[in-house]
Amino acid sequence: MPALTESRAGSVAVLTLDLPGEPVNKLNAAVKAELEAAFARLRTETAVSAVILISGKADTFIAGADIEEFTRLTSREAFERLSLEGQIMLQMVEDFPRPVIAAIHGACLGGGLELALACHYRICTDHPKTQLGLPEVQLGLLPGAGGCVRLPRLIGLSAALGIILPGRSEIGPKAFRLGLVDEVVPKSILLETARKAAERLSAAGAAAVKRKGGHWLLDRTWPGRQIVYAKARRDTLKKTFGNYPAPLAALEVVRVGLERGRAAGFVAEHKKFGELAVTPVSRRLIGIFFATNALKKDDGLPAGVTAVPRAIERLGVIGSGFMGAGIAGTAVSQAGIGVRVRDTELSRVGKGLKSATDILTAKLKRRRLSRFDYERQTALLSGGTDFAGFHNADLVIEAVFEDLEVKRTVLAETEAATSEATIFATNTSTIPIGDIAAQARHPERVLGMHFFSPVDRMPLLEVIPTDRTSADSIATAVQFGRKIGKTVIVVRDHPGFWVNRILTPYMNEAGYLFSEGVPMEVLDRVMTRFGFPVGPITLLDEVGLDVAAKAGGVMHKAFGDRLTPSAVLGNMLADKRLGRKNGRGFYLYPKGQKAGPDETVYDLLGLKPAKPADLTLTEQRLVYSLLNEAAMAAGEGVVRSPRDGDIGAIFGIGYPPFRGGPLRYIDDLGPAAVVATLRALEQQVGPRFQPAASLVRMAEQNEHFYSDSAG
């Protein structure tokens, strides 16, 4: 079945792209051939005055090149050719002698936007689902079908770099302000507006198909552009530490395209595309794209078990603190369901509802939410001090104080106030769910849902069934998590679950290194260079020292000496230092903003900070503590697959995506090499580095976490 169908609106040809059997439109080899054939044919049809390109999909224009095709190519030359062929096809569109209009609704990304850029006129809808962007660098690539050359010419150098280098997408109104599209209209009149534009442009003749120049200022002069290139390079290196080659390569291609002309730009573009596509970084990032998509289809159940997830229409949230409010606001904004919040005092309920509403307000301000939806969603939020409104809740999530007895009481009260069908989820980061559920009347409907803070921004959710949780409850929680926009992993009910388990020894090690005198900013820099978004000391300040100390204590109790925390946190807490939240942590927070290190901390702890001459050992101690724990926990079956473990580490703690996750990284280093380094650290630093038994076995038997790592 063809993907492209043609119809006529008077003398205007309307090409509708609707890839059969696929949820989104993508530019694969077959679609490219169809587009080429259509434009070649229309060129000869002189009765056709203009062409409109539109999508037949509900919410995507075109999601870009077909990433799946990338996995079948292996050589640099093959990727170069793929990019070149894309460029040639789009040149054909640009060279079409009559106006070509892109009518865009929904995701218009990567090659999809590049196709729109090759058209002579672009109209998009104002719907929040309409996103225009070039996300290629997030896959370790660069826009390879002319985007690096055309975009700066259309919207100016600075604005183009603002989209290409971070791989950003923009909604319709912003795209219009940038000059990326010529008109932005409601969805209902998209085609009609495109048809009118087609008639207008074809009446204007050849002038209409000529590209109009940008209207930028600094970018127009050679010296001005040099400033922009230099700043973009500096900013990129500051963010990536050179770990990601794609943004720098894209910057270089943009520069060539502007300084040496379009032809040179296109050559540089397809050459760099070929180079980048075969880098391990790109392979890993593409692997994460597919792993995340595969997780979206995983019901979280053990093999052979099936269940029917129940739709959640009404949610109850107990505890209106930061987490509870975050869960309530996220549920309303993502799923549009009624949420009832309960807390012990009305003032707390009010505060919680306000911060839940703030999530919606932020979306309204960024125009990710219409005023109508904002009003509708805020009306879905309510709260009180009793259980009114809980009797018909499908799911209740408690996010109260991290204390076993308190959580047990909340569970008992909730069971008394809710129906025979209500699922009870506890949001805890460390307390075993089995302990909380021990006296439950309906343990089959109790499980853990571990959200990360801030809930509306952190993409991960750990769902933790006990051995008594029913399959229906698991499937329902997983489906609900996904509905509110989370990537969900189902993990074993084991202290710390997955994310806090692997994080604990890493945070402990940072404490040890600090107490040995390694300066806080050095520790942070070592890890941001490795690829984490923030270092461990900053993370402690962000999480809250009290929260971290409490979690560390639970983990120490559960796992013994190996996870003994350093004395640092206790001493900091004795000085009432809670981190960013009370403006007193490792770093200074004048006016709430993080500034430099608080040097008084060294005196407080009796330390003389000194940067180690060789930071390799510092990095190894931090990284290998995490790798070893990840291997150990994976060996204990805490995660259902290496994929889940790696996605959990990347989305939960910001483990560097380009390294593919800790388990993938162990595979890449080789389990035997990891064991050898751990043994050396065990000798040099202490017994906590004793390699996990499961890792030693893997090394001995030459096994890997992933089947494609072997060999």
| List of residues contacting ligand 3HC (CB under 6 A) | 23-24, 26, 60, 63-68, 83, 86, 107, 109-111, 114, 135-136, 139, 141, 143-145, 147, 293, 296
Query: Closest Cα to residue 598, out of 607, 606, 589?
Result: 589
Residue 454, preceding peptide bond in cis (omega within 30° of 0): yes
Which tokens go with 210?
Answer: 């000529």
- Answer left, alpha or beta for residue 382, where phi above 0 means left and psi between -120 and 50 means alpha: beta
* 104 or 417: CB nearest ligand 3HC: 104
Which tokens go with 487?
Answer: 């990537």
Least separation, in Å, of the C-beta of 145 and ligand 3HC? Answer: 4
Least separation, in Å, of the C-beta of 141 and ligand 3HC? Answer: 6
Say if strands 121-125 and 60-62 run parallel, antiparallel, or are unpaired.
unpaired
* 336 or 596: CB nearest ligand 3HC: 336
Least separation, in Å, of the C-beta of 461 and ligand 3HC? Answer: 16
Distances (CA, A) of 104 to 145, 213, 435: 18, 22, 53
Contact criterion met (CB below 8 Å) for 546 and 401: no
Which tokens go with 5?
Answer: 């169908």
Contact criterion met (CB below 8 Å) for 6 and 13: yes
Least separation, in Å, of the C-beta of 27 and ligand 3HC? Answer: 7
Distances (CA, A) of 680 to 274, 624, 687: 40, 11, 10
* 298 or 358: CB nearest ligand 3HC: 298
Q: How far apart are alpha carbons 24 and 129 in whole angstroms?
A: 13
98 CB-near residues (< 8 Å, 6+ apart): 48, 49, 50, 51, 202, 209
Please tell me whether residue 597 adopts helix, strand or coil conformation.
strand
* 296 or 371: CB nearest ligand 3HC: 296
* 66 or 80: CB nearest ligand 3HC: 66
* 24 or 471: CB nearest ligand 3HC: 24
* 15 or 107: CB nearest ligand 3HC: 107
DSSP designation for 105:
-
Least separation, in Å, of the C-beta of 113 and ligand 3HC? Answer: 8
Say if strands 131-133 and 169-171 run parallel, antiparallel, or are unpaired.
antiparallel
Distances (CA, A) of 142 to 135, 261, 272, 366: 8, 18, 8, 27
* 250 or 666: CB nearest ligand 3HC: 250
- Residue number with the smallest Cβ distance to ligand 3HC: 110
696 CB-near residues (< 8 Å, 6+ apart): 675
Q: How far apart are alpha carbons 58 and 55 in whole angstroms?
A: 8
Q: What are the φ/ψ torsions at residue 417 (nearest 5 degrees)?
A: -100, -5
* 125 or 193: CB nearest ligand 3HC: 125
How buried is residue 598: exposed, middle or buried, by Cβ count under 10 Å (0-12/13-18/19+)?
A: middle
* 144 or 691: CB nearest ligand 3HC: 144
Q: Tokens 């020292």 identify what position?
A: 545
E-assigned strands of 46-120?
50-55, 60-62, 100-104, 107-109
Query: Closest Cα to residue 159, out of 216, 234, 213?
Result: 216
* 139 or 400: CB nearest ligand 3HC: 139
Considering only CA atoms, give the Rg of the chain.
28
Strand partners for 489: 462
Least separation, in Å, of the C-beta of 17 and ligand 3HC? Answer: 13
Other Cβ atoms less than 10 A from the Cβ of 362: the count is 15
Least separation, in Å, of the C-beta of 476 and ligand 3HC? Answer: 20
Contact criterion met (CB below 8 Å) for 463 and 489: yes
Least separation, in Å, of the C-beta of 65 and ligand 3HC? Answer: 4
What is the DSSP secondary-structure string of 553-580?
A: HHHHHHHGGGGPPPSHHHHHHHTT--BG
Query: Closest Cα to residue 101, out of 2, 227, 190?
Result: 190
Strand partners for 342: 318, 384
Least separation, in Å, of the C-beta of 402 and ligand 3HC? Answer: 33
Residue type, 624: Y
Q: How far apart are alpha carbons 415 and 393 in whole angstroms?
A: 11
Catalytically annotated residues: 462
